[in-house]
Structure 1
Amino acid sequence: MRNFSLDDEPLGDVNVYISPVTTPTSTVDEEKCLVRISLKSTESNIRDVWNYIVQNLPYLMIVISLIQAIIYFECNADIRKILRYDPDKKYEIWRYLTYMLIHEDVVHLVLNLFLQCTFAFFLETKQGRLKVGILYLAGGATGVLGASCINPGILIGASAGVYSLLISLVADLYLNYENIKYKTYRGICISVMVLSDITFNLYHFWSREEPLISWEAHLFGGLSGLILGLALYTNSEGLQQGRKNICMTFSSLLYFLIFTTLVIITIDSGTLNCATKMKT
């Protein structure tokens, strides 16, 4: 044991000195036997939390959100018409992604930006920004294709991509069940958000308020997130590699089949002269 004096310089954030001498009759010089332990100060804890947040910030989704916000506040009506999805201009391929940059109002914009950054916070560092970006864009493209096949209309908003991220948390929970903390609470939160969205969509559907909400885009975006999440996300050691390979292969083939089918149906559909405007 190293002897310390009270005059020693502090080594930690907060130093507490304790004595190993516990018997009342001990004659040992306690000051020479003091043992120093370091306790983290409040400032150090705050610094650790701040470092964790900085390291896990969803930088890719933040950049996408900034672009969406700039387009909302700066672009005029003509540019918005070029970016939005229009079923009568289905061969303009960029519209299948750029419609995600357009939002109806500030509430629509802020809600989508908040949700997509929140979900990405739990995914980007763990699963990789590239995978999360692919899943977000694929969810948007699959969502608009599904909406175009079932209920074609002019479409704006990023909710299909947001829903893709939300439901992909289910895939992440399944693949990494052994290592995820608070898995029960995460499952409850996902269920509550999905049920809340379904309830809101049903209310909006029956009230027929304009603009309509495209539940089809939400549905196919979420389905895309689940399937691609199982195919792309990294699994923990708790899931056998053989099961992961089967899951990845089956999910990839299923997504390819669904996406191809939606593309074929969209191409084969005729010109609709559709004026119905919907948001996701």
Structure 2
Amino acid sequence: MELERMSGWAEETEDTEKDPPPKTCWEKFHTTISNWMLPPDHRTTYMERANCLPPPIFIISISIIELGVFIYYAVWMPQKQWITLDTGITKSPFIYRPDKREEAWRFLSYMLVHAGVQHIIGNLFLQLFLGIPLEMVHKGHRVGLVYIAGVIGGSLASSIFDPHLALVGASGGVYALIGGYFMNVIVNFKDMVPLFGIFRIISIVLIVGTDVGFALYRRYISKVAGPQVSFVAHFAGGLAGMTIGYTVFSCFDKNLIKDPRFWICIAAYVAFLVFAVFFNIFLSPVS
């Protein structure tokens, strides 16, 4: 009996001394994503079903389309310079223009057109840097919902609060992703390593501050060529992300349509859409 106990103890000791198998590159990649995108209580669930199927099709596809449209207007349409686009995009059927607001598709299609190299690079960097890991965790239909909500909310808000200016760029959608992610960081801050949470918040503040600062500089200080464009979509997109985006991204392992918070946010968003449409039809100062 004593020999059996010693043998069993030796086997247990030997088992405990075995090192766990090393993580593959994909496992390390998914672990990093889960640490950045999810609170601790959801990371195990994500790792159990983590895969790259489907890949982040939405955010990559929309980025390729936006880049293609920029190249088209920069190269083939008449421009004085391609660093800051002017003549081509002002006549584009995609740009949102107050005098063309009866063409309803412009409230969405303006996201495809950008005002210059800095504009397109900034938006593409932000939406790929944040959108790819978000889509790997939450999948394309959820990321797409938040992105499009920010784009449409941005153009409608601009038509109300900055009604005389045109609008270009995907900033509304980008800021919706940032707003949703930011709210999740704030709400789950107590479950994170403090320095890690602080680093994420500081990173978001620096990125947003730099981008908004550049937009304000271009609008009020710089005398660069090209049309004046509104920056209201930045704030409206961020607000859409902090409401709809936060709700969508916090339902990682839940059925979204069964979450009452989602329907409350959707109802508020629809109410805003109805008011914005009414304003543009009956109250807009633009003739």
Question: What is the TM-score when the length of structure 2 is the normalising length?
Answer: 0.68
Structure with more of its chain in strand, by fraction: 1
Q: What one-letter code is carried by the residue in structure 1 that aligns with 2:230? A: S
Q: Which residue of 2 aligns with 1:84?
A: 95
Matches within 5 A, 1:138-149: 138-149=149-160
What do you get for the CA RMSD once the two structures are aligned? 3.4
8 Å CA contact 1:88, 1:271 repeated in 2? no
> Is the counterpart of residue 128 in structure 1 residue 136 in structure 2?
no
> C-alpha displacement at 1:95, in angstroms?
0.9
Q: Which has more radius of gyration?
A: 1
State which drifts further: 211-220 or 164-173.
211-220
Instruction: Choose the corresponding residue for 2:70, options 65, 69, 72.
Output: 72
Equivalent residue number for residue 166 of structure 1: 178
From 48, 52, 55, the equivalent of 2:52 is: 55
Alpha-carbon distance change, 61 to 144 in structure 1, aligned in 2, over 3 angstroms: same
CA distance in 2, matches of 1:46, 1:184: 27
Partner of 1:185: 199
Matched residue of 2:147: which SS?
helix
Moved more, 164-173 or 91-100: 164-173
Q: How does 1:193-208 map to 2 (within 5 A)?
A: 193-208=207-222
Instruction: Find the aligned partners of 2:180 and 2:115 in 1 and give their Cα distance.
Output: 25
Give the whole-Å Cα distance in 2 for the aligned partners of 1:122 and 1:198. 23
Asked if 1:217 corresponds to 2:228, the answer is no
Deviation at 1:82, TM superposition (A): 1.0
CA–CA distance in structure 1, aligned partners of residues 30 and 252 of structure 2: 24
What secondary structure does 2:250 align onto? coil
Compared CA separation, residues 87 and 213, structure 1 to 2 (3 A): closer
Name structure 2 gaps, 5 residues minimum.
1-9, 11-16, 34-50, 78-87
Structure 1: distance between partners of 2:275 and 2:220: 30
253, 263, 267: which is aligned to 2:277?
263
AA aligned to 1:65 is: S
Partner of 2:108: 97
Aligned counterpart for 1:155 among listed residues 142, 146, 167: 167
Whole-Å separation in 2 of the counterparts to 1:232 and 1:260? 22
Partner of 2:4: none
Q: Secondary structure at the match of 1:233?
A: helix
CA distance in 2, matches of 1:92, 1:55: 38
The structure with the greater share of residues assigned to helix is 2
Partner of 2:42: none
Partners of 2:94 and 2:252 lie apart in 1 by 40
SS in 2 for 1:204: helix
Using the TM superposition, give the Cα deviation of residue 180 of structure 1 relative to its aligned residue in structure 2, in angstroms: 5.9
1:172, 1:230 within 8 Å by CA — same for their partners in 2? yes
Q: Report SS of the residue matched to 2:93.
A: helix
Q: Deviations over 1:144-198 (max 9, x none)?
A: 1111112222221111111111111123335655766633322222222233334
Amino acid at match of 1:100: M
Percent identical residues:
29
Larger mean Cα displacement after TM superposition, 146-155 or 190-199 = 190-199
Does the C-alpha gap of structure 1 residues 130 and 47 become closer, same or farther in structure 2, counting only changes over 3 Å?
Answer: closer
Q: In structure 1, how many angstroms separate the alpha carbons of the residues matched to 2:284 and 2:28?
A: 55
Structure 2 CA distance for aligned equivalents of residues 124 and 135 of structure 1: 11
SS of match in other structure, 2:167: strand
CA displacement 1:7-54 (0-9 Å, x = unmatched): xxxxxxxxxxxxx9xxxxxxxxxxxxxx976774xxx75565567788
